[in-house]
């Protein structure tokens, strides 16, 4: 059985010699990975002195290894999920802050070949040795500059100002000799002084020994057989398509047309994804038979096949099938609010803020080539259940305990943020606001109940079944701890009050809290989802999506009318009214995206340019224009950039005029004033004409922006250009279910057909060099090989390029259990974990090509 979590933990153990007696620095992407793995305790077991954030290096990190026997010579390990060129600024700032670093071991999840193949990369084929020498050179240059600054004033080198962020700490990776000579700070020194300074810098720089290694298994496993890539890693941030006719978003593959991108048109995301999958299979000791569905997946499959042909000759490995799927073949499933507790977790719970900037200054200057995905680290609000319920005295004792815990944990970057907790309390600030950042939990995929990981069990269940299972786990934990409740727990559905009471009982004592922390955190997350604030909105979305699905089976007129109705209703909802479960204009636009995708599947030839007639689409357009004019503050949308402020000013002006036009009945008419203003009538007419002209100009420009939006929506109607694929998909849907509410996603349909060894239109098999030789050369002698099937393998890895969601994971397991091969070891993966909010950002937000 293949276990992704076990493989990741084993890969950490393989670098135990480097971790021992070292300060370990993790970047944001690696932190996401290690948090899901629960690997922080493993790092300490392997001998790490401290675990710190690479992006938030603190001067206090210098004393993190105070108990070390190595003296002033420090040893650090840096694990990064980024390209070395992107991590360079952080690494250099870390070295300059700590100083006296003797050994620096850098582990990057990006392979040496991927570094050299990445566009605009300053590193060549020998990327790792090149970077080792470049880092030492830049570090020596940094020391030389700091020595010159410190020598005249007699200051010590150990001051924090050694590495100003705007100069040395954030410098580009490669600095040419000519560039250095132009800004050489030693040029003003005399010969003897210059030699002295250069000698000191060289002596300090020569102490640094840098080694760079490939560490491929930086991924976020939510279960032993389901993983996604860290959202702040270079692979997930790399764009998957450039702006062209068939592209919908930087974070999604282009729409499949039957012509895969080739040569210079291959986006960086394809190269990095193929490199990752190859090295993942190598670490798992798998030999892949590659299948692809979609143009982008075919490109990745070809790159993978070329690598496998080069490096896998003569190796004995377990055979496995790899199925690559383009996300754009099914955008409807991740846009919908399906029946998945995990999807509700990641949609409702607050996330950690991003810690890293995107790309180097040069890359940002020439345009956005990086995506800004939401971090996967959720913040589970524990303070309601963990804090002591009495007065400020108890609160202060709890704060002292937290500070002591952080001090002993040695995570010095976090310590600096919590040192003034007591001061904040004494100032009279709310304890809840102080503790909210500290007392927040997270999901750990290794937490389990009798060997079954909690998250894995939840992934396979619907929302109601998942909450009932959490209730059962809580009851088992209470029974094991011999804790009795004062209330009667009814069988069946888990109510909010029951879960709340059981959590409080389990969290009363510290021993019980630590022993059952996994189920307590999961139960609190479930409470957060069950709260009316979040569940009402999710249910409103779900109901609207079901209505759209039913109308899509009827006529294009009824579907268009339903979309218009949803937009008209959203125009009445303000920003503060979303708490009541009402849908805003942004929500209605996401539903319009769903409606257009459904229309493209069901009415592909209804209109000339889209699925609706001109009149039907005109009503939808007018609804959107009116909704934006009435409530421009709600719609902070990309296609309205530069126009939102004018719309808000126009709305405020109209409101002011309406107030002024209300006549005051108590006032008497002053005829003198009437005669006195006789000549001002023409002026008022001119002003009103100007006002009407301005309003018309604004509305015309708004209509142009809305027209661009609808051109984008027309693209989404062409997501399945293959007629046979569309007909097969609809036929399979009607075969498995007559219920219009239970539409299955594409992943379920593809796996159901593949596991039954039936043909899937568009599915391509990538044969190796030997396979092609048999097919072309020996086939004429009757020695050709039969086309392999995915179902022939005992291990199948499915990777969705662009992202995957919780509903698809559950449906994939359903397809496996319903097949004739339920014994197959199915592993699921994706670029990221998608929620409907993420899809809105990808399609209609900053990443979309509108």
pLDDT surpassing 60 at residue 365: no
Mean pLDDT check: name the lowest of 109-113, 750-754, 770-774.
Answer: 770-774
Please give the mean pLDDT across all residues of the chain: 78
Collect all residues with Cβ–Cβ distance below 8 Å to 252 and sequence separation of at least 6. Answer: 240, 241, 327, 328, 331, 802, 842
What are the backbone angles phi and psi of residue 325, rounded to the nearest 5°?
-130, 135
The rounded distance, in Å, linking the Cα atoms of 506 and 481 is: 8
What was the pLDDT predicted at 544?
94
**Dihedral of the alpha carbons of 737, 743, 746, 748, in degrees to the nearest 10:** -50
Strands 763-766 and 286-293: antiparallel
Start-to-end Cα distance in the chain: 45
Average pLDDT over residues 395-409: 56
Backbone angles phi, psi at 104, to 5 degrees: -130, 110
pLDDT at 583: 85
Q: Are 765 and 290 in contact (CB under 8 A)?
A: yes
* pLDDT tops 90 at residue 252: yes
Task: Give me the mean pLDDT over the 253-276 stretch.
Answer: 85
d(CA 585, CA 546): 19
Q: For residues 579-591, give the mean pLDDT.
A: 81
State the pLDDT at residue 663: 54
pLDDT reading at 481 higher than 80? yes
Give dist(CA 255, CA 262) in Å, integer: 15
Helix (H, G, I), strand (E, B) or coil at 211: strand
Pair 418, 407: CB distance under 8 Å? no
| Confidence at 35, pLDDT banded by 50, 70, 90 | very high
Helix, strand and coil percent figures for the chain, each rounded to 5: 55, 10, 35
Q: In the predicted model, what is the mean pLDDT of residues 115-122?
A: 84
Q: Which of 69-73, 379-383, 535-539, 725-729 has the lowest mean pLDDT?
A: 725-729
pLDDT over 90, % of the chain: 39
Report the pLDDT value the prediction gives residue 388, as an integer from 0 to 100. 46
Point out the least confidently predicted range of 237-251, 271-285, 692-706: 692-706
The percent of residues above 70 in pLDDT, for the chain, comes to 71
- pLDDT of 497 reads 87
Local confidence band at 593 (pLDDT 50, 70, 90 cut-offs):
very high
Winning range, highest mean pLDDT, from 173-187, 341-355, 443-457, 564-578: 341-355
DSSP symbol at 786: P
pLDDT digits (tens, 9 = 90+) for 635-664: 677 888 777 777 777 777 766 666 666 555
Q: Which of 130, 125, 155, 136 is nearest to 207 (CA)?
A: 136
Helix axes 614-630, 681-716, angle to 10 degrees: 120
Q: What is the pLDDT of residue 401?
A: 62
Give per-residue pLDDT as tens, 495-554: 888 898 899 898 888 888 888 889 999 999 999 888 888 889 999 999 999 999 999 988
DSSP 351: B
Nearest one of 60, 47, 95 to 415, comparing CA atoms? 60
> Is pLDDT above 70 for 323?
yes
């Amino acid at each position: 059985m293949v276990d992704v979590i076990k493989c990741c933990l084993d890969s950490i153990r393989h670098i135990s010699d480097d971790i021992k007696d070292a300060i370990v620095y993790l970047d944001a992407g690696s932190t996401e990975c290690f948090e899901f793995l629960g690997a922080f305790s493993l790092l300490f077991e392997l001998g790490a002195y401290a675990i710190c954030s690479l992006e938030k290096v603190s001067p206090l990190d210098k004393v993190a290894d105070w108990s070390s026997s190595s003296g002033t010579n420090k040893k650090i390990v840096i694990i990064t999920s980024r390209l070395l060129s992107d991590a360079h600024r952080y690494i250099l700032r870390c070295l300059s802050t700590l100083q006296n670093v003797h050994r620096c071991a850098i582990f990057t999840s990006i392979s040496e070949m991927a570094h050299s193949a990445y566009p605009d990369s300053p590193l060549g084929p020998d990327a790792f040795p090149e970077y080792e020498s470049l880092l030492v050179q830049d570090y020596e240059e940094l020391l030389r500059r700091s020595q010159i600054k410190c020598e005249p004033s007699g200051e010590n080198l150990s001051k924090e100002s050694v590495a100003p962020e705007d100069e040395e700490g954030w410098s580009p990776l490669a600095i040419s000799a000519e560039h250095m000579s132009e800004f050489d700070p030693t040029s003003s020194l005399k010969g003897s002084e210059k030699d002295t300074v250069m000698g000191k810098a060289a002596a300090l720089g020569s102490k640094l020994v840098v080694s760079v290694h490939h560490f491929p298994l930086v991924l976020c496993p939510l279960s032993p057989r389901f993983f996604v890539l860290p959202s702040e890693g270079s692979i997930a941030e790399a764009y998957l398509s450039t702006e062209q006719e068939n592209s919908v978003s930087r974070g999604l593959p282009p729409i499949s047309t039957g012509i895969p991108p080739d040569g210079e048109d291959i986006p960086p995301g394809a190269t990095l994804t193929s490199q990752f999958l190859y090295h993942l299979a190598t670490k798992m000791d798998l030999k892949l038979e590659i299948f692809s569905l979609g143009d982008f997946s075919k490109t990745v499959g070809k790159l993978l096949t070329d690598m496998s042909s080069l490096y896998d000759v003569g190796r004995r490995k377990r055979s496995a099938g790899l199925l690559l799927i383009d996300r754009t073949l099914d955008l409807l499933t991740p846009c919908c609010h399906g029946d998945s507790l995990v999807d509700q977790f990641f949609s409702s719970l607050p996330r950690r803020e991003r810690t890293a900037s995107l790309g180097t200054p040069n890359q940002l200057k020439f345009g956005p080539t990086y995506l800004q995905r939401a971090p996967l680290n959720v913040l589970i609000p524990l303070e309601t259940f963990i804090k002591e319920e009495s007065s400020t005295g108890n609160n202060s004792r709890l704060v002292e305990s937290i500070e002591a815990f952080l001090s002993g944990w040695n995570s010095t970057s976090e310590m600096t943020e919590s040192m003034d907790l007591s001061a904040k309390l004494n100032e009279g600030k709310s304890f809840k606001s102080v503790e909210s950042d500290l007392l927040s939990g997270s999901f750990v995929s290794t937490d389990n109940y009798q060997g079954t990981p909690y998250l894995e069990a939840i992934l396979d269940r619907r929302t109601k079944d998942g909450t009932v299972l959490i209730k059962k786990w809580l009851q088992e934990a209470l029974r094991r701890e011999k804790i009795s409740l004062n209330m009667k727990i009814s069988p069946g559905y888990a109510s909010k009050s029951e879960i709340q009471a059981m959590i409080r009982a389990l969290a009363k004592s510290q021993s019980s809290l630590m022993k059952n922390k996994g189920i307590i955190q999961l139960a609190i997350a479930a409470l957060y989802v069950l709260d009316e604030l979040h569940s009402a909105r999710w249910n409103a979305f779900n109901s609207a999506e079901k209505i759209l699905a039913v109308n899509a089976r009827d006529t294009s007129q009824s579907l268009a009318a339903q979309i218009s109705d949803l937009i008209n209703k959203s125009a009445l909802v303000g920003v503060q009214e979303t708490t009541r479960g009402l849908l805003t204009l942004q929500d209605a636009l996401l539903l319009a995206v769903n409606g257009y995708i459904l229309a493209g599947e069901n009415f592909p030839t209804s209109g000339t340019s889209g699925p609706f007639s001109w009149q039907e689409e005109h009503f939808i357009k007018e609804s959107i224009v009116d909704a934006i004019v009435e409530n421009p503050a709600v719609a902070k949308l990309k296609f309205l950039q530069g126009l939102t402020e004018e719309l808000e000013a126009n709305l405020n002006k109209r409101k002011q005029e309406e107030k002024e036009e209300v006549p005051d009945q108590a006032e008497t008419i002053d005829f003198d004033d009437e005669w006195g203003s006789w000549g001002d009538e023409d002026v008022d007419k001119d002003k009103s004409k100007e006002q009407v002209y301005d309003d018309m100009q604004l509305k015309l420009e708004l209509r142009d922006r809305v027209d661009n939006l609808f051109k984008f929506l027309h693209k989404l109607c062409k997501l399945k250009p293959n007629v046979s694929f569309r007909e097969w998909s609809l036929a399979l849907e009607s075969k498995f279910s007559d219920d219009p509410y239970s539409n299955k996603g594409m992943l379920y349909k593809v796996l159901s057909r593949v596991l039954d060894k039936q043909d899937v239109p568009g599915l391509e098999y990538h044969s190796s060099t030997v396979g092609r030789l048999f097919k072309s050369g020996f086939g004429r002698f009757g020695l050709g090989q039969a086309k392999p099937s995915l179902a022939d393998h005992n291990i199948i890895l499915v990777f969705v390029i662009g992202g995957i969601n919780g509903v698809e994971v559950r449906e994939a397991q359903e397809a496996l259990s319903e097949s004739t091969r339920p014994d197959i070891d199915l592993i699921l993966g994706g670029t990221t974990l998608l929620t409907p909010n993420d899809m809105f950002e990808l399609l209609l937000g900053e990443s979309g090509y509108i």
